[in-house]
Structure 1
């Protein structure tokens, strides 16, 4: 919900602070790039070089005998970071793309974690790596199993994007110049339908702004294939149908009118999908 937009604002702020910025979108990595770790790291180094508008010297710095992660680290340390005067904000968007490639995911996470740890050192290498500001953006529907000591997700600052509250929804409506259309009752109807989900709110309000439908029609068609949320609902259905434990856990939630307790892993996944909300230790 709004991760990429937040990332763009962070990068824009960094540029105004005089930082170099690089954004790597893993959705651009095709299947041939993700065949093995070496190919992926080469692809990464070349893309960062292009973004910084410097000559690609990957082959010159790459030393196969040192190992793949070390070769990639060497390229960043001795070439990319050493030849810039400012700090570098390196953002990796859609990181979840790597979740299904276990052979790359584990080693690449270890690499990012090692860069973070090296930056804490007080020596010359630590000074070089302090130039790097790493931003990792990912959906949280599912994490592969990963040793806590190899993970980049339990260090640094973690930001989970929450839903909008009612005041923020009101501000959003005003930005679309629909304040006159949404009285208190209509606003409550919209929030009851989609909660504070930024994407779904934007879809609904933009649709109403274009006058393609009325709020009453939108609400009536919302749970159907004709509704504007049909694609989103199909994605949620596919997530449940592909995991019998998720499907069973969600069924337990929706057939009762009070909070229930589920397996922590199942509740985490359902919460990440936006299908349940936390009520203390229970789930609605």
Structure 2
């Protein structure tokens, strides 16, 4: 029987022992243990492999390893250790963590050693003393979709948000928010709804992307879907059957349900948000009935007091190309809000929040020249730079390649264009010249909605240089 001395270099370099230690510490700290994919990633980091090499080892996609697995692993290790962990510094930080935090508190059990068998010291039972939890360290989440209310990476729109928030306090208000995809419309909407809740208003958020094609093809079903979801989100019993009358039609039935049941029952103002309204533009027969109905609700507030409690927000990513009479369209009344790209100052401020030392604005200008200030593309770039995965020079060089940080974004656009050859030809015409191009309305609406072009009246230009670099090669 003998005591095994702790060989620190062995523990530091023995990845199996390290993983055992980490999992025990994660359990003590009430943080989820490492899963098989994260262990695979850690093994690759220990062997100084690239994300591409790690992904190929087990036939994962590089995007999944670098943008899903790696951020989650680094975030939990950062929370455990209290220091920001990245792929670049992971091994050094973990070895130092073992040396300074774990080694002084390890105790070893005695075990029988057969001298005839080669033996590597093995950690039998580390005992961790009661200790203060590590200082919380939050790594940024990978940018994907709308930003939560408490996100430090949301750039407040100082000229827009106060105006919209003030508008929804006005009786019968209508707000129209328009911008291409991934420009921050839903993030803004979440903050408006949050403000409304702080005013003790009721809120309902209807995302038309959640409707199925059958519902969008039937005006009656679509209005019933709206009424049912409003009732559900307000947590009141649905009484659609009591108000629906085929003799007076779906529009009037819906109006009476809103007026005599919803608005009359809740008393307080209701902020009703319709998100992704452009989805209905693809179903013109329903759109030609629904959009005038929205306009009629706005007009009702001028005549019927109870309708003043309804404040409507319409969010869409393209111009409406459904033919409507001027007095029937909800798109020429209310407060129009247009979201634009990030300015240099906003990119610089966001870089500061990602802890990047961009002092003179040079880096912000380089990034904006590439992505045109596109909010989602800026967020992805700053996230990756924060992770120390690449330098700005490397990012600019590889951005438009199939292995760059925008590969998934660019391939998605490529696939969507390939599915519509006419649209692809129109876009290629814009890619091939730096002069504004006049397109037929349907193509320009779709390309603008996708965020691929900017529109100045009827003339289209590329929204950013990244798309030119990528699609010139495609």
Same fold (TM over 0.5): yes
Q: Distance between the aligned counterparts of 2:217 and 2:445, measured in 1? A: 30
Output one character per residue of 1:228-264: Cα deviation in whole Å (capped at 9) or x when no partner. Answer: 222322343345445566545544444344x335247
- Post-superposition offset of 1:46: 1.0
- Post-superposition offset of 1:144: 3.3
Q: Distance between the aligned counterparts of 1:182 and 1:202, measured in 2? A: 18
Q: Distance between the aligned counterparts of 1:33 and 1:198, measured in 2? A: 32
Q: TM-score, normalised by structure 2?
A: 0.54
Of 263, 269, 273, which residue of structure 2 is paired with 1:81? 263
Q: Check whether the contact 2:343–2:373 (CA below 8 A) recurs between aligned residues.
A: yes
Q: Corresponding residue for 1:27?
A: 209
Q: Say yes or no: does 1:194 pair with 2:395.
A: no
Q: TM-score, normalised by structure 1?
A: 0.87
Q: Corresponding residue for 2:333?
A: 155
- Post-superposition offset of 1:7: 0.3
- Post-superposition offset of 1:87: 1.0
> For 1:66, what is the secondary structure of its paired residue?
coil
Of 67, 70, 80, which residue of structure 1 is paired with 2:252? 70
Q: Corresponding residue for 2:293?
A: 111
Of 317, 321, 326, which residue of structure 2 is paired with 1:144? 321
Q: Name the count of aligned residue pairs.
A: 277
Q: Corresponding residue for 1:42?
A: 224
Q: Check whether the contact 2:284–2:322 (CA below 8 A) recurs between aligned residues.
A: no
Q: Say yes or no: does 1:210 pair with 2:387.
A: yes
Greater CA drift, 195-204 or 91-100: 91-100
Q: Distance between the aligned counterparts of 2:456 and 2:272, measured in 1? A: 36
Q: Distance between the aligned counterparts of 2:275 and 2:371, measured in 1? A: 26
Distance 1:145 1:278, change over 3 A: closer
Q: Say yes or no: does 1:171 pair with 2:349.
A: yes
Is there any run of 5+ residues in structure 1 with no aligned partner, and where? none
Q: Distance between the aligned counterparts of 2:321 and 2:454, measured in 1? A: 23
Q: Check whether the contact 2:280–2:287 (CA below 8 A) recurs between aligned residues.
A: yes
Q: Check whether the contact 2:348–2:361 (CA below 8 A) recurs between aligned residues.
A: no
Q: Check whether the contact 2:358–2:364 (CA below 8 A) recurs between aligned residues.
A: no
Is there any run of 5+ residues in structure 2 with no aligned partner, and where? 1-182, 462-474
Q: Say yes or no: does 1:95 pair with 2:304.
A: no
> For 1:211, what is the secondary structure of its paired residue?
coil
- Post-superposition offset of 1:167: 0.7
Q: Say yes or no: does 1:260 pair with 2:452.
A: no
Q: Distance between the aligned counterparts of 2:341 and 2:323, measured in 1? A: 28
Of 396, 421, 438, which residue of structure 2 is paired with 1:219? 396
Q: Corresponding residue for 1:10?
A: 192
Q: Corresponding residue for 2:234?
A: 52
Of 239, 243, 247, which residue of structure 2 is paired with 1:61? 243
Q: Check whether the contact 1:148–1:154 (CA below 8 A) recurs between aligned residues.
A: no
